[in-house]
Structure formats: structure tokens, C-alpha cells
Structure 1
Amino acid sequence: MIIILTSCLAGGLPLKQTEKEAPLLHELFFSICQVETIDSSGNSIDLSPLEGHHAIVAFTKGTCNLKIAGGTLHFQSGTCFIVKPGVQVKFEDTIAEDFAGYWITFDIYRLGVSEPYSDMQKYFPYGQQLNPTPFIKFVDMLEQLQVRQQNVGKLECFKQQIRLQELIVFLLENHQVTEGPSDSLRAVKRSVTYLEENYMENITVEQLSQQAGIRRWEYSTLFQNLTGFKPLEYLTDVRMKRAKELLLLSNEPLRDIAHRVGFKDEYYFNRRFRQSMGISPKLYARTHQSEGSIKDYLGSHIELPLRQSRIVVIGYELGNLLTLGVRPVGADLTVIGKQVVYRNELHNISDIGPKEDLERIKALEPDFIFNCSTMHSATALVAHIAPTLVINREDSNFEKLRLIATVVGERPKAEKWIKDYKTKVKALWSQYSLDIGAKETVTVIVIVDGEFFVMGNHGLSYTLYHPLAFKPAEKVREMIEQGVDFEEISVEMLADYVGDRLFLLVGEEPRSVNAANDLIKSPLWKELPAVQRNLVYLVDPKWNYDDSITLERLLTVLPGILRNSS
């Protein structure tokens, strides 16, 4: 649903608009003209009410492309923009999916001038994608204007003018806190990460710049300064690297590999690969097959993939192995086995103990060991039992899953899981586009053995910090940029870390339960904005893992969690 507001002059003095200087805001009057609703599922979309007026267009559902002043901009739910009088706005001829939202048109008059004032460049960010937060409040203000437009008396008409001004003030105040130069660079870095994880999708520079909230020309300059590549050159480079891995580690047809790395056309993929590598994909696969090996911790070459191996996994990658259909002979189940969501599915896996019991590991006679433990001091001792691959805990789950899949010969299965997961998580957060503000923040706090820890971009946070969902609070964002997985904090520091919403995970041990009860009874707790807005979620700690099994099952329970804030 989309709504249009237009406004007519309620009154004015017959003077000429001769002043050159920009007026002050308190010298202006804002007058509503018309309010309409539009749904793209209808037979036609009439944009004529926008002509000759200021306009605000807001989207509450779906995505679409608009042609504005000769250029094309992509918009999605939770965003809006302001149109200058005289600027033509058209929807693209082909509409990819249903979308809905609001259109508002209004006139602005300067004190003592009868003609509408057209140039608000000093105050209005014309043509830019805006993200008013919380968006649900913005939508409520729009609905108030639309619902009350029919059969209004003079007093109600006056109230409508005030509501319009409140709407504009809300939008401008949100715009004043938009990102500065250093924030722009961070936004570009986030979009680089997005590109690296979503390279198989149809990605445009326009889409990336809008996601970063930066003008396209500025975005491209910052991107090239940061990476040394133009955005689409970098995208092609990422796709080529993934394609080379698939060519060496799978027997899939070239057509399927092209699709997996983001090329719809096999022949175009072949041409781009030749341009990048100097040889065809098939020739590359034949001449580089001997590179199908890795070095273990001690520097020995291991031929890939492993076949019929007795595998021991140390640390947090057990779920990823099980996702690939590989059941290890041993894992450290003393702690993990009691906490993970799949703890009832660990039959026929021996416990090697929480501190990497070397004798237990030797007794299992492993052929290969995956080590993702925090106890690096024991790695050398473990590596003398069997070839050992150390997995970096700071890598994303997708990277770790791909690495493990490469070793065990299940790369196609890993790529399918990643593609399916991304589809599911995108579908989940799309449902909450109206409930989550474009810049709304969230923090995950875990209480373990009575101590407080704030999570970075691991565990539950990994799912919450999605481009369509929440942003990390400022202090948490700094942690993530520094590569910190989690950080212990005191109760007194909570206010510095907690964002607009709070997910609180409390362990079952008495010290943790008592610490949580003491916190909830304290004055500090009641002063947290998330508590005051009733946006606190109590969650089982078992969801604070980021293996494939936990990530996928979390998507089925998150809607229930979000409905039950306390």
C-alpha cells in the first residue's frame, strides 16, 4: 500500500517571491494537498499527483526501481526519499515484485509570498535514500495523515498541518545523524563484507551505494581507495576465486559452477574467466588438479579430499561436520554436548574431554584432526597424533564450512547449504521490515558463571546483525571492527553497550541465575532504554553457537522469541 499527500494553500499574502536567500524554517508554512494509497498489485500506478509539488515517497513492503531525474534508484521497505517540485518520477516498466508504501505531496510557502517555495536544498536531501528510525513510528505518522484526510473541519485541517510538520521534523532529525566521513568508510567496509558473502547474487553498484547510504560517485571512490578495485572489478575477482575452488574441488558441470558464483550465462562466465586467468575454465581445472592438497599444522601436504577417515574435531566445528554428513569418531562433548541444540544427536561420538585429553584422542586412532579450540598451547602436541588443520575461530561460519567441506570432499553440499540458508534468513527478516528501524541496534549479553559478556559478531549476534535486520550498538561495532568475539564487562558498563533492543542469555548454573535476578532488580536495569520500551528478550544460551545446525534451526524459533519480549 502506498499513500499520496498533496497540499493546497490555506492562505497567503499577494507578494512576489523576490528574495534570493534561503528562508529560515520558522518562516515557512507547510500545506497538505492530497493523500492517496497505491499498491503495485493494482492495474496501474498514477504518479500525476506528484507533479509540481514537494513529495515524500516511503516504502513499507517489497522492492522497486524508480527513475528520478534521469537516473534509476533502487528502494526497499523501510526507506523513503524526498522529491523536489518539477522532478519527474516514474516506476520502471518491469516491476519485479509487489511493493507498497506511501506517497505524500505538499506545498511550502514562505511568509508573505503567495507562490509555493520550490528550493529547499539547504534543508532537504533531495533524491537520497533516507532511513527514518524507528520506521514503524514514521509509518504511524503517515497513516494518521492518510486516515484523517476525509471530511475534516477547519480545526482538524489545522491539526493535519501540524502533523505534516511533525513528520518532516522527524525525517530531518533522522537525516542530521547520518554518517560522517569515517562512518562512510565503515559503511563501505560493511558492503565489501556483504559482497564477499553474497557474490552469487545479482549485485549492482547502485545497490551497494544505497545499502551504504552514500552517493554513488563517493561510494565508488571510497571503495577503490579501500580495496584497490572498482566495485564490479572486485566482485568479478571474488567470483573468479570461488570459481577456481569449485573447478578444482568438484565435478559439477561448468553451467552449474557459473550459476553458483553469480553468472547466469555459462558462455559469459567462460569469457570472463579467460579474461581474468588467460585460459579457459576447463583447461584451468586440468592443469591445476595437482594443487588439490593442503598443509597441516606441521607443514606436511595432505591430499584432498579425505576418504573414509577417522576424524576428531576439537572446538566448535562439530555442527558443521554433521551438516556435511560427516560423523567424527571424537569431539569435546563435556561442555558442548550439554549445550548445543543438537545434543540428542551425538550418538557414537566419543568424548575427548574439555581440555583436549591427549590419551583419549590417541586411543581413537584418528587419521585427521580439525582444531578450532582456543587452547593454542596444546595444538603442537595434538598435531603429533595425526595430521591437524587449525581453523580460525574469527572466520565467518561460511568460510569455515567451505574449508571443512573442501577437506572432506563435500564442497557442493556446503555451497547448497549456504545458498539455502541465505534464502531463508532473507525471507525471515523481510517479514519484519516494518518492525525494525533502518538503524535500530541490538546487543547480545551472555551471563556465564555469574560473569557478564557482550557478544561481537559471533553466536546469536551473527543472525541478528543482518543487512535487513539490526545494527550493532556503537561499542559493539567497535569490538567487531577490532576482531573481538566477545568481551567481559561489569554490570556498571551495561548501559554503554546495550542498544535499542537487548537479548539476554542466562546459563543454568546458580551463579548465573542469581546474577541475572540481581540485575533485573537493580535501578540500573530499569534505566536501560530497551527495558523501558519492553524490548528485552530472554533466550536459552544454546542459541549462542554459530555452527550450521544452530544457525538454521534458530531461524525457526526467532519469530517466537521476537513476539515474546519482556
Structure 2
Amino acid sequence: MNMCHTIIQLIPEPWLCTLQHMEYVDHHKSDIDKRLLHRMSSSHSIFVVTSGKGSMVCSDRESHLEKGMIMFVPSGTSVKIESSPGTGSELQYYKLDLMVAELKEDISIHSPTIITTEQHEFLKGIGTQEALPLIQLSYSPWSSCLEALEQMLRQQVTGDWLEQWEIQLRFQEWFRALLRQSDPKTEAPDERTRLQSSIRYIGDHYDQTITVDELAADIGLTRASYTRQFKKITGKLPLDYVNTVRLERSKQLLQLTDDRIHEIAQNVGFSSEYYFGRRFKQYAGISPGLYRRHHRQEVRVFAPYLEDFVLALGVKPVLQCSHHYWGRQQYLGLDDVPEFDVSQKDAQFNLSNVPDFIMLDKGYDRWNLDRFEQVAPTFYVEHLGEDWRSILRSTADVLGKVNRVQDVIGAYEDKALEAKSRLSRYMRGQTVAFLRISASDITLYGDQQGYVGPVIYQDLGLTPHSRVQQWTRHERRIFIGLEQLSQLHADHLLITFDTGNSAKPGDERELLERDEWKRLPAVKSGNVYEVDFMSWMNYGVISHGKKIEDILRFMA
């Protein structure tokens, strides 16, 4: 008879079990002959061996005992336990006595406890001691097993009813895990399954002290092997993963509770408020207190060249950036928002528009914007522009708008999918290239990275001209000369003009008068489309949406 079915037949409703009594037995302290007799009782018992070796004798049948073994002894069974001499350590174990509540038939609603035929036959057949088997069980991770037992034993002495209830809750959780892991239907886990179990353990016990050595030992791996395979699955080192779980949970507590910062730090497993605050800022980019405020009130934010992300989340910035040559991002429609010219390296805030919070991307040093760190708390976006979804998520996180992210991303993806379907009917393999033209340079954008490649070639499925793939080689952009331009025989050209190097208005358009330009196939066929500089030379869900709208207007 297999072991988990045997327990279920003995205890058809295991959730009715409660912990009646618990003790820790050390044979070194028990008696001289190192033998203990646990007499027949009305309680089921569980023995969890924590140290040493020995044997358990029941009805002249002997079972070996050693560290890590768990034995279930049914009620009405007497067992004698003996420690093996000369093993270097004495036998030690937890003994748990279980009481099972009985359910009586409720005549008023006709809902008696149901006992299956199999259970009835089994229960009828255990009238003799020989019919009561000893059942070996298993629990992993072993450290979590011992930790739960230690906590239950320590709390057992209390007379407080809430503490007693806590013991029973811990017991129920432990007992459920014990039965589930001992189910004979469950195959022996492979290394990946054991690692996933370890990852779940971290998720359940992040608030407790966790070491890599214990995690590795619990699933039978060396520290090096555990760390290597853990990173392969999660992308993080074990302790980095633990801290990530703790910090994500702390975000929830900061949003949903009024608990003090030091209380939240302790609740998620950090030893001090100072260390928690330092780790939180490293992880989230802002302090725990600021994070909480942003989730509870509107934020006056200045986010140069990140306004697209801020506005997409429903937050209007207190200022919008502009540039002496390029102007402002008119596609955002922020006509009533004051401008801040980032090209003036010494520009300052007016008293009426000092922000409460500043967000900067990786180009902040180009505009000398980090000088404003003393004005307001400053968040630095670490993601590359191509990873706009992650930028949107981190922006939402620090501004308290997490609930909007999925709707924004979902709307864009639906828009792109519909456009891709329409374009596939019209384009049928025709090739495309994108050029940024200034008075001094011709810039060809690649098909994998940059402001345009991921949108037009990946999201919309348009086909880049062969020279685009050959020349850019996964670069964001490259400069090309007139000779290379002459080889760009794309069926369609998207172009935008950069006025940054123009000495006078119109200098950037002189290329259009050259013979090399006029001989291009796309020019001859009238398939050249001029697009807005600011909406195409930007990352962000709004700017990418504008790109899709432009392409549909031109090509579908």
C-alpha cells in the first residue's frame, strides 16, 4: 500500500488535524540505555529525526532511523526507539502528536462526512496492531522543515490564544507541505524542479534569514552548482533574487499600508531601516518615502525627453523640454506647458515651475541636467530607449501609475498588430529605408535598434532594403555618403530633416537637388515620405504610435 494513500485512508480529511503536543527528544539526555518506549495512544505521531542514527521497533519490525528521516506512526501503535552507539552523535528528533477532529452528521442540511468504500475497508481492517504500518515521509527544503518545527516548539509554551492559533496555522502549513511532497503520484523531482521549489521557498520565506549554502544543501547541490543553475533560470544570483523579492514586497507595503519605514524594512527581512533605504533607492531609483508619496498624490515632474512616457501614463509634466534648433515635441500637444530650453546649459527654473521630482535619461550629461539634483529628487532611467516598455514600467513605478501600464502597452500592441495586417496586403515584400538628412550628413537608420528600426521593421513587419541590413550591422545608425546613397534602391524612403547644422533655413534640403538623389528608384516613383523630426527621433509609446499612423497614411 503506497504511503500517501495510507495516510489519507487513516485521516480522510487531514485538514481536521491539529497539533496536540510537541517535544524535542535528545537520547543523550534521556536515559542510560538510550532506549525510549513511546506507548500506544489515541494520537497519530510524527517523528522528525534531526541528528544521529538509530532504529524504530514496532511489532517486532525494525526500521532504520537517521538524520533527515520523517516517520508517521498511526494511533494505537507502540514504538521503541533506540540510538545507535558509536555514531559520533546521539539520536535527536521532534515528536509531534496529532489530534483529529470528528465531523458529525448534520441532519438539518443532510451533509454527513463521506467515507469512500476504499477508506471504509481500510479502516475496518486495522483492528490489529500488525495492520498499522509505519510510513516514511519526506520534506524539502529541509531547512524550512526544521525552521517551522523550531518555531512551533518555541511558541508552544505560550498561554495566549492568538499565539496558540499561530502554532496551529504553522502546523497546518507544514503538514500540508509534508503530505503533498510525500504523495507517491509525484515523481522524484529533477534538478530544475528542485530549483523551482527552492525559488518558491524564497518567495514564501523572504522575510527570514536565507543563505545560499542552506538553499543549495536543501536540494542536494553544491553552492557553485546551485548558484550557476539558479542564475540560468532567474537571470540573477540567489541573494540578488532574494533582495528583489523583498524590495518588490516592500513596494506593495509602501503603497497599501501606513506602516512606518522601519516596520516595513523588518517585515520584508532587512536588518535595519538604513540598509533597507539604501537598497531600495539602488533598486527603485528613489527613496521609500518618496515612492510612497508618489503613489498617494499627484507629482510635479520635469522629465526632459521623457515627457512621452509621463504623458502616456496620464501625468502632465510641469515643464516640457525644447531645443534651440529642434524646437519642442509638438506631437505631444503640450501647448499650455511652459518650455525649458535644454540647449542653454545654464538655464534655471522659474519660481512658478520648480518641479517636485526630476526624471533623466542617459543623455542628461549632454545637457548638463544633473546640476538640478540639488533642486529636487532625481530619478535616472537605466534602460536603453529600445526597451521602451521597461522605461514605461519604471516611470509608472516611480510616479505611482503602475495600474495604467498594461492598458497603455496593450493599446499600442493592438494598434501595431492591426497596422501590420493592413500593410502586409499592400507592401508584399517591397523594401523600405529611413534617412535623417541634415546640411552636413546623411544618416541611415538600422533595422534592429534606434528610434525607427524596431517599429517599422519589427512591430510592423516591413522589409528593410538589403543595404540597410548590410551596412548598419545592428548599429542604431551610420553616416553614408553620396556613393552609398546611390546604392540605396529601396522601394520606399522615409525621410526627416535635422536643422541642427543648418547655417540658414533650408540648408538641410539641398540634397534633394542633387542628381544622386533624383536617380533613386523611390524618388522616381514618388515613394518618398517626409515625417516629423521630433516624433520620429524619439522613443516612447506616443511617438511610436505616431510612426504607425504616418506609415499607414503613406503606404496603406
Q: Given the two structures, how large is their TM-score scaled by the length of structure 2?
A: 0.44
* Greater Rg by CA: 2
- What is the TM-score normalised by the length of structure 1? 0.43
